[in-house]
């Protein structure tokens, strides 16, 4: 059974996890993989998964986890201090760190925990989204929102674990065992997303960090 890639529109091939009986659709062109929509959790079920996470700004290891991201994917390419964290979760630790330790002024949004659309009509120097895009059902629409909310020289910095190239490794990958994870990317996928919406990759560690900025006008 074939579907069409939600990023580039190409025909995909189905990968079936024999143990879980779940299908995934891989795009041969941009390497995007999405989970079969029949296996996608409801909003209430997703919330139960998120509430199992115990994340706090008082946890030094968790703070260090974000600081590594900030130093690698944010500071070198960000020119201003007005930021927006999309998918901030039950405790907006990343936004708090950026404000407390790096002098940013941050807005936050989360579909479940901070649903007020404070970003409407605004543009930002920095947009962050950490461990969020793997939860998106229609990722291209969210990335277009990010683009629309960026200043001309603004930076979009994403954290998500990039999927393995080989099918066997993907099916054995711990990241797909989180039932709320439904969209999986590689740097190639992100480059295609950028091409679609007018952003270019300016940094990636090829593992889980990637940053994009607007393309220069021709």
How far apart CA 30 and CA 126 sit, in angstroms, is: 26
Residue the block writes with tokens 């936050």: 108
Which residue, 37, 47, 35, is CA-closest to 177?
35
Residue 27's pLDDT is: 97
Tokens of 89: 């979760």
Residue 218's pLDDT is: 40
The sheet with strand 199-204 has its strands ordered as 105-109, 82-86, 124-130, 150-159, 209-214, 199-204
Tokens of 39: 């296996």
Residue 1's pLDDT is: 46
Residue 216's pLDDT is: 64
pTM: 0.94
Residue ranges with strand state E in 89-180: 105-109, 124-130, 150-159
Going 45 to 51 to 57 to 59, the CA torsion angle's sign is negative
Residue 18's pLDDT is: 81
List the end-to-end C-alpha distance of the chain, in Å, as a whole number. 41
Tokens of 32: 């995007």
Contact 146, 129 (CB under 8 A): yes
- Residue-wise pLDDT tens digits, 34-44: 999 988 887 77
Residue 10's pLDDT is: 96
- Which residues of the chain are modeled with pLDDT < 70? 1-2, 51-54, 216-218
Say whether 29 sits in a helix, a strand or coil. coil
Q: Looking at the DSSP assignment, which residues form a beta bridge with residue 114? A: 110
At the topology level, CATH places domain 40-161+186-214 in: Rossmann fold (3.40.50)
């Amino acid at each position: 059974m074939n579907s069409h890639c939600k990023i580039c529109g190409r025909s995909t091939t189905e990968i079936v996890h024999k143990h879980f009986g779940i299908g995934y659709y891989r795009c041969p062109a941009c390497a995007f993989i999405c989970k079969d929509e029949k296996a996608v959790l409801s909003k209430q079920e997703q919330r139960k998964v998120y509430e199992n996470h115990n994340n706090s700004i008082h946890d030094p290891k968790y703070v260090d986890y974000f600081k590594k991201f900030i130093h690698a994917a944010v500071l070198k390419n960000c020119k201003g201090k007005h930021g927006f964290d999309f998918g901030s979760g039950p405790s907006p630790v990343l936004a708090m760190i950026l404000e407390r330790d790096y002098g940013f002024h941050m807005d936050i949004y989360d579909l479940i925990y901070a649903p007020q659309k404070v970003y409407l009509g605004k543009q930002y120097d920095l947009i962050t989204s950490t461990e969020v895009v793997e939860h998106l059902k229609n990722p291209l629409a969210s990335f277009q929102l990010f683009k629309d909310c960026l200043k001309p020289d603004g930076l979009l910095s994403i954290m998500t674990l990039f999927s393995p190239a080989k099918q066997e490794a993907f099916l054995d990958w711990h990241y797909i065992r989180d039932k709320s994870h439904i969209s999986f990317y590689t740097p190639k996928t992100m480059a295609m997303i950028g091409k679609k919406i007018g952003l270019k990759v300016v940094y990636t560690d090829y593992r889980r960090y990637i940053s994009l900025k607007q393309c220069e006008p021709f």
